[in-house]
Amino acid sequence: MTSDVLTFTEGSIGRIRLNRPKAIHALTREMCVAMSEALRAWANDTAIEAVLIDHAEGRGFCAGGDVVALARSGGGDGSEAAAFFFDEYRLNHLLFTYPKPTIAIMDGITMGGGVGIAMPCQVRIATEATRLAMPETGIGLFPDVGGGWYLPRLPGRVGQFVALTGARLDGAECRYLGIATHYVPQAALPELVERLKAAPGRAAGAVGAFAETPPPARIEQNLSTIARLFAPDTLEEVIAGLEADESDWAETELGTIRTKSPLSCKVSLRLLKEGAARESFADEMRAEYALACRVVQTHDFLEGVRALLIDKDNKPDWQPAVPEAVLDETLDQLFTDLAPGEEWTPFPEIA
């Protein structure tokens, strides 16, 4: 049986290659554990100077987590989903605090859990094929894996826009927004990997030698509009602003938001508001874990996965169906801290 993630060394480089192409490398708990084990071993191995994360084959880096499996668990006691989030967030935090240079090649589809692996890396490479998104509100979830930390720190209100609409950003947009540190053509990636293996201690310089100026970022022309229309922290105000705006752009984005779970949209806006003020990434992971453990058992998550990924009728029956019906009390319950002993914790040596 071929492993869903390949971990090995080449010279002074630790290699992590996602290897589940039929699922666009969607993460399983076993994949997260395997990556963490390799990273922890390499952290203390003086022969390893840097870590490179990419995908072995197929049309994308990583489509996210295995949400169908999460929904199966959420429809029961949720314990398997909780175990997945616990290990996935430990991996995210391990990468965020990693003591050696880390490089992620975000080639092709990079969504959800894939964003969570790439964003903590010091060097993040986008290509002309990159399509990066946090589309969780469309399945009744929220942008986790550190989304509450990264998204509110993007320019203007782009993070709120991305969280609510699930907008796909191409490679040029990722570079423009700072999500990617470099823009490298797909065709140059094999030679780039060889250069990294030859000079692992100078990763940024090695990548820089292959980096090109990307095409103009399409999102640039909409930044001021996004900053204005997505400025409110309440979903009702965002929708009202889009309704009042007479541009085709606003009409399109309004139509998109109306297809999303109202509960998930409200959860996402609150997460980003709280995440912007958090002092550490560990605090963010702790909060997202408590939230994720509850959200996977909500009607909207189970219904969203059914409608988009199982039955594929694309007709989710969101409950409540409108933002005004999502009660503050419901949000408060979802955002409540877990009891002592149940909360998320990082690996002990990096606490």
Give the Cα separation of 202 and 94 in Å (integer): 21
Sorted by sequence, the CB contacts under 8 Å of residue 327 that are 6+ apart come out as none
Which has the closest alpha carbon to 112: 66, 59, 171?
66
Tokens of 231: 């400025």
| Count of CB atoms situated within 10 Å of the CB of 131 | 20
* φ, ψ of residue 16 in degrees (nearest 5): -120, 120
Residue pair 261/321 in contact by the 8 Å Cβ criterion: no
Q: Which pLDDT score, from 0 to 100, does residue 203 have?
A: 85
Sheet-wide strand order for 102-106: 5-10, 13-18, 50-55, 102-106, 123-126, 182-183
For tokens 């997202």, the residue is: 288
> Residue 88 — φ and ψ, nearest 5°?
-65, -45
Contact residues for 6 (Cβ-Cβ < 8 A; gap 6+): 15, 16, 17, 19, 56
Q: From CA 318, how far away is CA 267, in angstroms rounded?
A: 14
The catalytic residues are: 65, 113, 136, 144
Torsion of CA 93, 330, 340, 282, to 10 degrees: 20
| Local confidence pLDDT in tens for the 351 residues of the chain | 469 999 999 999 999 999 999 999 999 999 999 999 999 999 999 999 999 999 998 889 999 999 999 999 999 999 999 999 999 999 999 999 999 999 999 999 999 999 999 999 999 999 999 999 999 999 999 999 999 999 999 999 999 999 999 999 999 999 999 999 999 999 999 999 999 999 888 888 889 999 999 999 999 999 999 999 999 999 999 999 999 998 999 999 999 999 999 999 999 999 999 999 999 999 999 999 999 999 999 999 999 999 999 999 999 999 999 999 999 999 999 999 999 999 999 999 754
Domains along the chain? Answer: 5-350 (3.90.226.10)
Contact (CB, 8 A) for 250 and 258: no
CA–CA dist 183, 185 (Å, integer): 7
Looking at residue 1, its pLDDT comes to: 43
Q: What is the pLDDT of residue 230?
A: 98
Per-residue HEC secondary structure of the chain comes to CCCCEEEEEECCEEEEEECCHHHCCCECHHHHHHHHHHHHHHHCCCCCCEEEEEECCCCEEECCECHHHHHHHHCCCCHHHHHHHHHHHHHHHHHHCCCCCEEEEECCEEECHHHHHHCCCCEEEECCCCEEECCHHHHCCCCCCCHHHHHHHCCCCHHHHHHHHCCCEEHHHHHHHCCCCEECCHHHHHHHHHHHHHCHHHHHHHHHCCCCCCCCCHHHHHHHHHHHHCCCCCHHHHHHHHHHCCCHHHHHHHHHHCCCCHHHHHHHHHHHHHHHCCCCHHHHHHHHHHHHHHHCCCHHHHHHHHHHHHCCCCCCCCCCCCHHHCCHHHHHHHCCCCCCCCCCCCCHHHC
pLDDT at 64: 93
